[in-house]
Structure 1
Amino acid sequence: MALQAASREALAGVELTLIGALEDSTTDDFGQQLFAVAGLLDREIGLRRALADPSTEPADRERLVRDLLGGKVSGDVLDVVAAAVAARWSSPRQLVDGIEDLATTAVLVRAERAGRLDAVEDELFRLGRIVAGDTRLDQVLSDRTAATEGKLSLVRELIGAKTDPLTAVLVENLVAQPRGRDLVGGLEALAAAAAKRRERSVAHVVSAGPLSAAQQESLAASLRRIYARPIALHVEVDPDLGGGLVIKVGDEVIDGSTRGRLDALRRRFS
């Protein structure tokens, strides 16, 4: 989600309201309610334009959303939405983007406080790899003409009780409300958001064979020294590499695989 300057400033301000609301909130489905609000505004063009109209007074926009959603979402969720519509966004569409980002943050904060953020991050990454490796599954879940409930049923069948319920919340929203995003990219972005929540960067590691826990700890320590910050490993096994590792951190790729070295030699002598 690439927000323009005004929207980034708006989101930063509303995030403070969100974190404050989450401190004492007893609303278990805080994130789900915010996702529902984002979905409503995504569908209702006129409404989102009215709520993001910079020519109207913030108090009027806040009053409108409180009249509309009062009694339909919890009071603490409504306070966050009211703060969002009172802020100044670059466009109505970015108001929706911002509320969805807040919903994701709410889910990740809940996972963090429950000590389950690591699991959610890992499950998002692994599910992304599963979908990326199954073209048919990706096509079915990304089909914009298919019934949403049918796609959600397939997702629930796929992940069942195997994943954390908070992982399921994030995945189901992505499938139900893709909003122009491809599924694999969306899952990777969610995994990255979970890693960022822990103030770490993500290293996508492709290995010719499984890495032991000790090997992963050693690799993470080496990358931490290289990049001077904590690094989360997302490890994928690809026997076709022949040996070694391929490591991608941001736009930087470290290719120490047998296949990579052979390719480099071919380029040198071609």
Structure 2
Amino acid sequence: MQGSSRAAAAGSREAFTGVLAAGADRTRLAEELFAVVALLDSNVTLRRAVADPSHDGARKTDLAERLFAGRVGAEALVVLKGVVSQRWSSERDLSDTLERYAVESVIADAETQDSADRVEDELFRFERIVAADPDLRAALTDAQASTERRSALIGSLLEGKVTPQTLVLARQAVLSPRGRRFDSVVREYLEIAATRREQQTATVISAVPLGEQERSRLAAGLSAIYGGKVHVNTVVDPRVLGGIKVEIGDEVIDGTVIRKLDAARRAMGA
């Protein structure tokens, strides 16, 4: 985001946090904000009208009131008016911010049930499963397949096996990627979750699955190193042979056996 959009995002957040603090139905709020984003994406005239920087905030909030009152709940309308009242550098920045608030609403709902960690784990694992199965990936991302068919496929894979919040985000990522690849959408959702929860996320790659105690010790160690909470996602890759590889932010800590063997081969060939 450019400067004015960053300021707009900050300015609109008060409306969103106020709605959550007042006890809004987070599930409904997320559903309605996702629906508004879909409408804005599909209607260029409406999108330009609510994002036009030449119009003052009052004019745009009046437009939002006329168009959406009665179509969305009072809480979603408050958030929408808080967003459109700001001055945005681009139309996409406005709709991206609404999408972000929808995702945060889902995570906030999980927080009330103490299941936010589980949602992050499940969403991460689902993305890895899709990435590892070309046929599944093709079926989920096939633009020629009907929405109903792809939604049913997601349901068959996840319903009853993951939290309701994970199912919402997985379905949204598949059915409404907004021009992005599925893995990119999931990565953005996980980044939003991490930012909301004021934590960093580490991806740990190992040759064998890590037990809960190992994972907890690793998370505690990384938290001590980087400061603040660190959520650990794990990936099993037999090719590393042994040891672990940790990716956190832009940093990579590679303590795998395969890396050491590669270093030894390079040294012998030097």
How far is 1:167 from its partner?
1.2
How far is 1:26 from its partner?
4.2
Corresponding residue pairs, total: 268
CA distance in 1, matches of 2:16, 2:200: 24
Per the alignment, residue 17 of structure 1 pairs with 15
Q: 1:59 to 1:154 in 2, by over 3 A?
A: same
CA distance in 1, matches of 2:2, 2:140: 30
| 1:105-254 pair list within 5 angstroms | 105-254=104-253
Per the alignment, residue 57 of structure 2 pairs with 58
How far is 1:165 from its partner?
0.7
Q: CA contact under 8 A between 2:204 and 2:233: conserved in structure 1?
A: yes
Q: CA contact under 8 A between 1:122 and 1:191: conserved in structure 2?
A: no
Give identity over the alignment, percent. Answer: 40
CA distance in 1, matches of 2:24, 2:97: 23
Q: CA contact under 8 A between 2:53 and 2:89: conserved in structure 1?
A: no
How far is 1:192 from its partner?
2.9
**What one-letter code is carried by the residue in structure 2 that aligns with 1:22?**
L
CA distance in 2, matches of 1:70, 1:267: 67
CA distance in 2, matches of 1:159, 1:151: 12
**What one-letter code is carried by the residue in structure 1 that aligns with 2:145?**
A
Q: CA contact under 8 A between 1:33 and 1:77: conserved in structure 2?
A: yes
| 1:43-82 pair list within 5 angstroms | 43-82=42-81
CA distance in 1, matches of 2:29, 2:43: 21
Q: Give the SS at the match of 2:179.
A: coil
Q: CA contact under 8 A between 1:31 and 1:107: conserved in structure 2?
A: yes
Q: CA contact under 8 A between 1:207 and 1:237: conserved in structure 2?
A: yes
Q: CA contact under 8 A between 2:202 and 2:230: conserved in structure 1?
A: yes
User: Structure 2: any 5+ residue segments left out of the alignment?
Assistant: none
How far is 1:148 from its partner?
2.0
* Aligned-residue RMSD, C-alpha: 1.5
CA distance in 1, matches of 2:81, 2:204: 42
How far is 1:141 from its partner?
1.6
CA distance in 2, matches of 1:51, 1:195: 29
Matched, 1:5 2:7: no
**What one-letter code is carried by the residue in structure 2 that aligns with 1:183?**
F
